[in-house]
Amino acid sequence: MSKNKHGASTHYAVHWQEEQYYYPGPEFIGQANCTDPGIYQRFSLDRFPECYKEFADLLHWDRYWHTTLDTSDAPCWKWFVGGRLNASYNCVDRHLQKHKNKTAIHFVPELEEEPVEHMTYQELYRRVNETAAVLQDFCGLQAGDRVTLYLPMTPELPVTMLACARLGIIHCQVFAGFSGKACGDRMHDSESNILITMDAYYRGGRLLNHKVNADQAVQAAENAGQKVSKVLVWCRYPGRYSSSEPMVENRDFFLDELVRQHRNATIKPVSMPAEDILFLMYTSGSTGRPKGCQHSTGGYLSYVTWMSKYVQDIHPEDVYWCLADIGWITGHSFIVYGPLSLGASTVIYEGVPTYPDAGRCWRIAQELDVNIFHTSPTAVRALRKVGGDEPARYNYHFKHMTSVGEPIEPDVWRWYYEVVGKGRAVIVDTWWQTETGGFLCSTMPAIDPMKPGSAGPGLPGIHPVIYDDEGNELKPGEGKAGNLCIRNPWPGAFQSIWKDRERYIRSYYGKYNRDPKSRDWRDWPYMAGDAAVLESDGYVRILGRIDDVINVSGHRLGTKEIESAALSADGVAEAAVVAMPDEIKGMVPDLYVSLKPGIDPSDELEKKVISTVADVLGKIARPAHVYIVPDMPKTRSGKIMRRVLASISNRRDIGDVSTLANPEIVEEIRQQVQG
């Protein structure tokens, strides 16, 4: 078992037993985009990196590239050097000739009485161009500038992303469920002086006021020293403002109105160097500050296009639905860029999967003829809980389903397979990260058998290896957990952390780099930050994070971020967060706090701490419990022993605490928590 120094989440999947294989059926294989087992050979390490030409050739290049992989600035890899392209052109314009009248985006509003909007490629083209015209002419933005998007799940989000991409503007979309403060901090880090948001959106049947969060984001950015010059506001209902917050004069502008003033404008796509940044996506790491993962235009787009075609098995006639939020990497890669680059029809659903009832997803699938379905174990668990028999009542036919974001328990996997997939759909359990741009480990759906609980082998071109803490390679079937690494770079990998190359090198390469001066990629295995076991068949079973990150419903939260949010509540002196398993969400944070002298514990204070965390970070970070303890268990040097608190929360053996500075406190806390 890999070390679990911080009480992070590496505990469960290691106990799962080996499962039987499930084989893809002939119907699926007969139509699949990739059925050639020789593909692994074609992408073997001795063909690296030239094998990746096949990825690049899925795109339209304005100028073809000359160098597949440039390692001169290792470990900041450069892919398809010399090439020029535009991501918006690749996702929109190039499909017009054949697919002008085909639906690009099916938008499903949360309220069932509102009609589904079917946006054709032509319509998408028009809206992207008009929006790009506003960004260029009204905002004066140009290639390389950063713009923060704080948008919910409506078509305006991909339209705005593609409008940015058209001009080479770097978009930084912040999940709409994050707090205004979290958004403002990201604006500051990315130095965005323009915020694009929406007045309101539906969630759980309520029209949420989102503009209020956007105002807080501006405030937070300005407090941090980032000037915000404009806030562009889409209206959930164009022409009808649904927020009670006032529009600030000369700062806030209705984007629908501006777009109307640019009706039918066309903007020539800016031909971008392959290595220029397409977007930043922030994610949590082991220190408090979120990391801006910097994704390239050519490498990233080619990677997600290939993965969408061969792992998601998207064909032109398929209807593809990924239930993730575009505010996360899954949505960027597998709702927007991958599917649209292939000219597919992609579904965007605004709201909660179980709203207004347990049958909603299956009604959407039936109505739109969705045949490829993509979601997280958290959603699968929730759907099973509220309506285990619902799928059978609906007449939809999935050929393919994806699981992403967390380990999926074998019995949850089987429900997904048998009940949701009706025993016919293949499942791919895709392991990857914000940093990696696209999938790394998964079965190839028509080639490899599935095994519940194991993601699968490295995908073609991806060569995983598991090292122990000393850097020894753990062999397949050894049964030991270690640190999951990838031997080689790949085109979808992020280029660096925005403005923090040192942190990039330290976090992902520091442990196993063989020579910091080397320009040979072989010396730079990528360390993912996950513990894993390599099974004898070469399948990887992911155990969870090895750093201070908690995976809540498939969303990464840094324990340090939660702790510093808790510390901002009045009266709190110290805070420590540990991970607890949860039936639906996979993991949830438990929060321990101690109070400043003279402050008494109370239920109100507990509630205040919870609401402070939700205000600072967003509701998804809300702790499951807050325990106000008389003191934290500490080492003699004063470090909080989170491992001890994690054992208490998880009712595990606490182990030897005699070397602590205050061992007596442990029993007191245990009684308080466990009763």
Residue 327 engages ligand WTA in binding (rule: CB under 6 A): no
Contact segment (CB under 6 A) with ligand WTA among 85-93, 230-238, 358-366, 399-407 equals 399-407
Binding mask 514-543 for ligand WTA (x = CB under 6 A): --------------xxx-----------x-
Residue 434 engages ligand WTA in binding (rule: CB under 6 A): yes
CB 398 within 8 A of CB 371: yes
Determine the size of the site formed for ligand WTA (CB under 6 A).
Answer: 23
Q: Could you give the CA distance from residue 237 to residue 240 in angstroms, rounded to a whole number?
A: 5
| Closest distance of CB 455 from ligand WTA, Å | 5
Of 262, 381, 556, 560, the residue at the interface with ligand WTA (CB under 6 A) is: 556
Nearer residue to ligand WTA within complex by CB, 262 or 555: 555
Residue 325 engages ligand WTA in binding (rule: CB under 6 A): no
Of 55, 432, 494, 524, the residue at the interface with ligand WTA (CB under 6 A) is: 432
Q: Could you give the CA distance from residue 395 to residue 407 in angstroms, rounded to a whole number?
A: 29
Q: Could you give the CA distance from residue 204 to residue 110 in angstroms, rounded to a whole number?
A: 8
- Residue 612 makes CB contacts below 8 A (sequence gap 6+) with 565, 566, 568, 569
Residue 179 engages ligand WTA in binding (rule: CB under 6 A): no
3-class SS of residue 293: strand
Structure tokens at 359: 């049958």
Of 215, 275, 429, 448, the residue at the interface with ligand WTA (CB under 6 A) is: 429
Looking only at the bridges linking them, the beta strands covering 464-467 and 481-486 are antiparallel
Taking phi over 0 as left and psi of -120 to 50 as alpha, with beta for the rest, 59 belongs to beta
Per CB under 6 A, which of residues 69..128 are in contact with ligand WTA? none
CB 1 within 8 A of CB 481: yes
CA 321 to chain centre: 16
Cis peptide before 410 (omega within 30 of 0): no
| Closest distance of CB 61 from ligand WTA, Å | 27
Nearest to 539 by CA among 448, 659, 619, 605: 448
Which helix or strand (DSSP H or E) is residue 108 part of?
Answer: strand 103-108
Nearer residue to ligand WTA within complex by CB, 179 or 443: 443
Structure tokens at 145: 């500038």
Nearer residue to ligand WTA within complex by CB, 343 or 456: 456
CB 117 within 8 A of CB 103: no
Of 165, 218, 301, 329, the residue at the interface with ligand WTA (CB under 6 A) is: 329
Nearer residue to ligand WTA within complex by CB, 234 or 431: 431
Nearer residue to ligand WTA within complex by CB, 119 or 549: 549
Length of the chain: 675
CB 495 within 8 A of CB 277: yes
Residue 430 engages ligand WTA in binding (rule: CB under 6 A): yes
Residue 404 engages ligand WTA in binding (rule: CB under 6 A): yes
Contact segment (CB under 6 A) with ligand WTA among 84-92, 215-223, 424-432, 561-569 equals 424-432
Which helix or strand (DSSP H or E) is residue 560 part of?
Answer: helix 559-567
Indicate the burial class of 658 (C-beta count within 10 angstroms; 0-12, 13-18, 19 or more). exposed
Q: Could you give the CA distance from residue 347 to residue 367 in angstroms, rounded to a whole number?
A: 12
Q: Could you give the CA distance from residue 266 to residue 98 in angstroms, rounded to a whole number?
A: 20
Maximum CA pair distance of the chain?
74
| Closest distance of CB 577 from ligand WTA, Å | 17
Nearer residue to ligand WTA within complex by CB, 190 or 378: 378
Nearer residue to ligand WTA within complex by CB, 331 or 387: 331
Return the number of other C-beta atoms located less than 10 Å from residue 309's C-beta: 20
Of 453, 482, 544, 589, the residue at the interface with ligand WTA (CB under 6 A) is: 544
CB 412 within 8 A of CB 383: no
Of 346, 433, 443, 649, the residue at the interface with ligand WTA (CB under 6 A) is: 433
| Closest distance of CB 535 from ligand WTA, Å | 14
Nearer residue to ligand WTA within complex by CB, 530 or 548: 530
Per CB under 6 A, which of residues 144..173 are in contact with ligand WTA? none
| Closest distance of CB 597 from ligand WTA, Å | 39
Residue 618 engages ligand WTA in binding (rule: CB under 6 A): no
Of 90, 354, 551, 559, the residue at the interface with ligand WTA (CB under 6 A) is: 551
| Closest distance of CB 544 from ligand WTA, Å | 6
| Closest distance of CB 586 from ligand WTA, Å | 9
Of 276, 406, 535, 547, the residue at the interface with ligand WTA (CB under 6 A) is: 406
Binding mask 449-478 for ligand WTA (x = CB under 6 A): ------x-----------------------
Residue 136 engages ligand WTA in binding (rule: CB under 6 A): no
Cis peptide before 49 (omega within 30 of 0): yes
| Closest distance of CB 174 from ligand WTA, Å | 14
| Closest distance of CB 283 from ligand WTA, Å | 5
Q: Could you give the CA distance from residue 83 to residue 62 in angstroms, rounded to a whole number?
A: 7
| Closest distance of CB 552 from ligand WTA, Å | 10
Structure tokens at 257: 């109105």
Contact segment (CB under 6 A) with ligand WTA among 105-113, 322-330, 593-601, 649-657 equals 322-330
Binding mask 278-297 for ligand WTA (x = CB under 6 A): -----x--------------
Indicate the burial class of 225 (C-beta count within 10 angstroms; 0-12, 13-18, 19 or more). exposed
- Crossing angle (nearest 10°) for helices 664-674 and 642-649: 30
Residue 407 engages ligand WTA in binding (rule: CB under 6 A): yes
Q: Could you give the CA distance from residue 360 to residue 111 in angstroms, rounded to a whole number?
A: 11
| Closest distance of CB 324 from ligand WTA, Å | 8
Nearer residue to ligand WTA within complex by CB, 214 or 579: 579
Nearest to 625 by CA among 675, 665, 556: 675
| Closest distance of CB 559 from ligand WTA, Å | 14
Nearer residue to ligand WTA within complex by CB, 170 or 557: 557
Nearer residue to ligand WTA within complex by CB, 218 or 427: 427
Which helix or strand (DSSP H or E) is residue 126 part of?
Answer: helix 121-133
- Whole-Å CA distances, 571 to 458, 604, 665: 49, 12, 20
Q: How would DSSP label each residue in 636-665?
A: TT--B-HHHHHHHHTT------TTSS-THH
| Site residues, ligand WTA (CB under 6 A) | 283, 328-330, 404-407, 429-434, 455, 528-530, 542, 544-545, 551, 556
